[in-house]
Structure 1
């Protein structure tokens, strides 16, 4: 009977260890609930259904639920912009730093995974000379000197009974996810900045040309007025007023030129080149195409598309896992060590018969009093609450950015329509004055004034056209760009990430609120999760 009971003891111990190993201290992470709304603005954003008869005056419409192409900037229809962004994605030092940071996070996770799953094995070879005095042991005799040599192989493993190591691995996995989303966000921001800068460069170049044409018309008008002053048909004050207008316009040209040059420098740096690089393209507004179908994701979809929201979720996941690590530190730790080798008084006898030596150590430790552990637990809980609040803030800011862009696109369409009408009226006025001058019913002064008015309205029209393109780029950025592929990539290598279906947050089990503060249930705060409830 006794011999039958002996095998049952190690079996029971193994079963107990397996049951304990299946538990992990702290609450399991569950992604936060999606926003309980399907609109971005209080009233629906409406776009004009009729196109405006001017460049970039096409009617735009929102396509609900439409996906975003990963190379979304192709919708602008500029091959030179496509090539520049492709070069920037390879040469940008900002992206290189983000990729290196991601590799660092992945390797840190790999290091933790190795130490969690596998034991530590080491080999040692040592030799020492000792002097032993028998008098220290209360024995008679003279002191002796001798050599001791030993060679050994040791194995050490800490059983993850409470899941502390797994929670630490989970935290590092979440940190790698965060860096992955940071990389995706950096790529999105870089592409959007290059597109916006290229559009602004084209706008400034066109406005500079219009300003120079207006300056030429004003100078011609000033020359005619001075001639009239010399003939006595005009007062000197007229020439002085025109001189003021000419100099004011002349002063605006260097300002536009400076802004254009600054955008040239910015475009070079964004592309990973020095500001003095001379092979960068000079864009024109006419080479861009206005996207007519704009993607619009629901708020519940937006939280899975935008890199900044997914990065905030990864930080929340990391804080949740770190909270589990602090809870696991309150429970027993089991270490198992084994050492086998040989020990002898000479190197020749080191591996001989009778020199074998081994040790086997199992150690179970339980913190009884450590004033710092409860404080660390409370600190981790505070970090979890902060990460939850930060996540909610990021989501709200993302919803606000989408709402702003929707309103901007709506207003851009109406502003462009008005500016196009003003430009058409100025063009009609110039045509009428030109005909009257040909018939002798109007003079050169009226013709020059009509030309100036046309150039002024054209400058405003160019700004409206560029603004519509820029805000279309802003919408693609607000939608998270083509982040679907990145979302699939973000799940790779996450076999240790214990995620639940995205139905509720950890706090929602206790509160049931759609926008939880992610406070842990009282039982989890008090007892520490898995070990305080059935696993």
Structure 2
């Protein structure tokens, strides 16, 4: 007897738990190299020794040792509107999962009613042949109170596959939020580097205005002594005005850069002007940059993780479609009370109930179920291609960023040499012009060459910093940053004017 009970209980448990039909998800192999991002390339450029195959620092912006940059980066997760929107989408996916998972449990509904009935006289006459007493024609009350229960047994895993897909959707939403944070952190750093680069160019322009004003004064003194004509003076004055005219446009660019950073941190236009208007140096590249190992890229990049979750969701959806071919078993039951008098409603004689299972089996759907399975299989193939493409693009992003950094660093070294030589050439030209040995056009050419070299050097230094930012974005750095707890804000919280 005990063995029979054990077998019966085990069979019932198996029946209730069932087996989930459809394919089980197997995480794909990203196919990334183990030791070098340049594995398989016919041309392997030499990467700077600054790059190290060490774990990526989650707070990679700290490598620049720029206090202001670190301060604004720590505010991104809490203030950036795109990150906050992605957080709400994650919350939505969790609620949606709760809606889906509710189908695993029975439903129980309470219902009660009161009705006042008046039966038609003509109906009674037709049925009873005028043999009923007059009291049968009187209105009467009907009181009802009951409970309806229903439970669809998930024998074939139809609901469990839906829950699995919902869980994968949550994972995708979480990684999409991480990806949004990575992008926001990188965009803040990029705009900050460009701001500092613009401020450096403003300083270069102002320094050149002073230098060329000195040359203008020398030219005026030489005109007074009759050594040169007014042509040299006018050329020198024109050069001063030409350089000075570049400053307003650079100041406009500075304002726009500050506004871009203000928007990223949910501040009004100019909201960060007080802390960013003061000129700052372009952050120099760190002595060593940890980039991790290539095989870790699939784990680090949020977009790859999200693509894998979407592939998981597409695989689970196949199981949902396959389960539609199998019978649906539902346990139904109703228990209630019915009486003509409210005082009699809760007595045993008023009890009524019905219990029993129901089975629904699809017989003919016009090809709908087969087409749905084929559709889900095709969507899974599409999700796999998307995953593969995402991995490949990520790999390309890292390699492109490494090459861009290496080549720009080499270019910057040459530009620094050019600035040094151009500065010395200008000093010689000024000295020779003061001594009457050289024509003023030589001084003008030397001024323009130095100014152009200084501008290019400043832009190159900015490019190096931006390339490093692009590298860490490609590596997926920064998503480990802690998100603040999400609070439900009123719709007009961020728009006080509404």
Render the CA deviation track for 1:403-462: whole Å, top value 9, x for unaligned.
110101110221111011112212333454566678776688766754553333222111
Partners of 2:16 and 2:45 in 1: CA distance? 56
Q: Which residue of 2 aligns with 1:416?
A: 412
Q: How far does residue 89 in structure 1 lie from its aligned partner after superposition?
A: 2.2
Q: Which residue of 2 aligns with 1:193?
A: 187
Q: How far does residue 280 in structure 1 lie from its aligned partner after superposition?
A: 3.3
1:40 to 16, 32, 37: 37
2:421 to 418, 422, 425: 425
Q: Which residue of 2 aligns with 1:358?
A: 353
Partners of 1:436 and 1:244 in 2: CA distance? 21
Matched, 1:128 2:110: no
Render the CA deviation track for 1:373-408: whole Å, top value 9, x for unaligned.
222222222322222222122112111111110101
Q: How far does residue 363 in structure 1 lie from its aligned partner after superposition?
A: 0.4
Q: Which residue of 1 aligns with 2:149?
A: 155
Q: Equivalences for 1:321-400 in 2 at 5 Å?
A: 321-371=316-366, 372-400=368-396
Distance 1:342 1:20, change over 3 A: closer
Partners of 2:417 and 2:446 in 1: CA distance? 16
Q: Is the 8 A contact 1:202 1:282 kept in 2?
A: no
Q: Secondary structure at the match of 1:386?
A: helix
Q: Which residue of 2 aligns with 1:92?
A: 80
Q: Is the 8 A contact 1:198 1:283 kept in 2?
A: no
Partners of 2:404 and 2:224 in 1: CA distance? 52
Q: Which moved more, 1:39-48 or 1:408-417?
A: 39-48
Distance 1:40 1:99, change over 3 A: same
Q: Is the 8 A contact 2:331 2:357 kept in 1?
A: yes
Matched, 1:316 2:303: no
Distance 1:36 1:445, change over 3 A: closer
Q: Is the 8 A contact 1:85 1:271 kept in 2?
A: no
Unaligned runs of 5+ in 1: 49-59, 487-535
Unaligned runs of 5+ in 2: 483-498
Q: Which residue of 1 aligns with 2:161?
A: 167
Distance 1:240 1:330, change over 3 A: farther
Matched, 1:73 2:73: no
Partners of 1:351 and 1:479 in 2: CA distance? 70
2:22 to 23, 26, 46: 26
Q: Equivalences for 1:474-485 in 2 at 5 Å?
A: 474-483=470-479
Distance 1:483 1:213, change over 3 A: closer
1:260 to 254, 260, 263: 254
Q: How far does residue 473 in structure 1 lie from its aligned partner after superposition?
A: 1.4
Higher relative contact order (CA 8 A, sep 6+): 1
Distance 1:207 1:295, change over 3 A: same
Distance 1:233 1:289, change over 3 A: closer
Partners of 2:44 and 2:15 in 1: CA distance? 55
Partners of 1:107 and 1:226 in 2: CA distance? 78
Query: What is the number of equivalent residue pairs in this alignment?
Result: 469
Q: Is the 8 A contact 1:309 1:391 kept in 2?
A: yes
Render the CA deviation track for 1:119-164: whole Å, top value 9, x for unaligned.
1122222112334444565775364532221211222111101111
Q: How far does residue 101 in structure 1 lie from its aligned partner after superposition?
A: 1.2
1:62 to 43, 51, 55: 51
Matched, 1:465 2:453: no
Q: Is the 8 A contact 1:322 1:380 kept in 2?
A: yes
Distance 1:154 1:283, change over 3 A: farther
Partners of 1:245 and 1:369 in 2: CA distance? 87
Partners of 2:417 and 2:126 in 1: CA distance? 109
Q: Which residue of 1 aligns with 2:400?
A: 404
Q: How far does residue 196 in structure 1 lie from its aligned partner after superposition?
A: 1.1
Distance 1:484 1:254, change over 3 A: closer
Q: Which residue of 2 aligns with 1:101?
A: 89
Q: What RMSD, in angstroms, separates the aligned Cα atoms of the two structures? A: 3.3
Partners of 1:244 and 1:435 in 2: CA distance? 21
